[in-house]
């Protein structure tokens, strides 16, 4: 069976995901390049309209490829404010932190003021870091764009299935007992993610297909609880019906 969705299947998947748009790309490189162009266009529009672009970055391997494409595009980085969608409670500079990946894939290559980069202070522990980041967001404008990945279990950011953090109404949520190490994390809550002007999922690889099939069959995995997002898939991730 082909892994590419036909039109009817794509429509069904888009409805199941409550997606604003679902786009299937040939491979990870094509997906990454297309989403990088979407980010650049959104940045230009936000800066023209409001003078700044507030962008929350995702962690993970799929977004890493997108960031590598993004650093070559023409963006007025002086007017971009960078946030993190989630962070792992590890020491500053730890290579497993999401901000370390973003630094190596994107931030080291662009001309952006350091004051425009808003790290989650996860080294302080989940509770304290969540309080501090919530205070920062309270004094910041609404996020213009949130980038999101999806794990093989259907989690997004650090909102995992059956974890109490996923049900929290707080803007930034401490996460304990995450099923993937480290067990302690900090994440933007569903309310904050859903309040963003634009949400984009980047989902690649055959390992994601099962979670997408579960969502298409009606299972309310965390990634399915962010309606109105753009979903960008590569062919390997496409559900097979």
Beta bridge partners of 159: 156
Residue 239: band (very low, low, confident or very high) from pLDDT cuts 50, 70, 90: confident
Contact 196, 144 (CB under 8 A): yes
Residue 18: band (very low, low, confident or very high) from pLDDT cuts 50, 70, 90: confident
* R_g of the chain computed on alpha carbons: 17
- The chain-wide mean pLDDT, for the chain, equals 94
- Closest by Cα among 47, 186, 216 to 118: 186
Rounded percentage of the chain residues whose pLDDT exceeds 70:
95
- Closest by Cα among 80, 71, 120 to 99: 120
Strand arrangement of the beta sheet that strand 80-84 belongs to: 21-25, 230-234, 198-203, 145-148, 53-57, 80-84
Residue 141: band (very low, low, confident or very high) from pLDDT cuts 50, 70, 90: very high
What are the residue ranges spanned by the domains of the chain? 19-185
Q: What is the pLDDT of residues 151-169, one digit of tens each?
A: 999 999 999 999 999 999 9
- Closest by Cα among 44, 62, 27, 12 to 201: 62
Whether the predicted pLDDT of 114 surpasses 50? yes
The pLDDT assigned to 1 comes to 27
Q: What is the pLDDT of residues 35-88, one digit of tens each?
A: 999 999 999 999 999 999 999 999 999 999 999 999 999 999 999 999 999 999
**Which residue blocks in 139-220 are alpha helix, DSSP H?**
164-167, 190-195, 209-216
Residue 240: band (very low, low, confident or very high) from pLDDT cuts 50, 70, 90: low
CA distance 160 to 119: 22
SS3 79: helix
| For residues 194-213, average pLDDT | 96
Q: What is the pLDDT of residues 176-188, one digit of tens each?
A: 999 999 999 999 9
Strand arrangement of the beta sheet that strand 185-188 belongs to: 86-88, 185-188, 172-175
Q: CATH number of the domain at 19-185, please?
A: 3.40.50.1360
| For residues 129-140, average pLDDT | 97
**pTM for this prediction:** 0.94
């Amino acid at each position: 069976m082909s892994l590419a969705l036909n039109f009817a299947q794509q429509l069904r998947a888009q409805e199941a995901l409550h997606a604003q748009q679902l786009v299937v790309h040939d491979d990870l490189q094509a997906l990454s390049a297309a989403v990088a162009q979407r980010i650049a266009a959104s940045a230009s529009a936000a800066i023209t309209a409001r003078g700044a672009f507030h962008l929350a970055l995702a962690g993970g391997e799929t977004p890493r490829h997108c960031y590598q494409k993004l650093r070559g595009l023409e963006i007025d980085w002086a007017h971009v404010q960078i946030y993190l969608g989630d962070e792992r409670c590890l020491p500053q500079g730890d290579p497993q932190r999401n901000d370390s990946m973003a630094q190596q894939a994107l931030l080291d290559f662009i001309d952006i003021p350091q004051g425009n980069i808003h790290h989650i202070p996860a080294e302080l522990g989940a509770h304290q870091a969540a309080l501090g980041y919530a205070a920062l967001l309270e004094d910041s404008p609404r996020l213009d764009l949130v980038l999101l990945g999806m794990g093989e279990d259907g989690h997004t950011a650090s909102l995992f299935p059956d974890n109490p953090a996923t049900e929290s109404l707080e803007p930034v949520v401490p996460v304990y007992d995450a099923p993937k190490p480290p067990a302690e994390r900090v994440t933007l809550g569903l309310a904050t993610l859903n309040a963003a002007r634009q949400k984009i999922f980047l989902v690649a690889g055959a390992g994601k297909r099962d979670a997408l099939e579960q969502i298409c069959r009606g299972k309310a995995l965390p990634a399915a609880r962010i309606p109105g997002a753009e979903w960008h898939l590569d062919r390997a991730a496409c559900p097979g019906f």
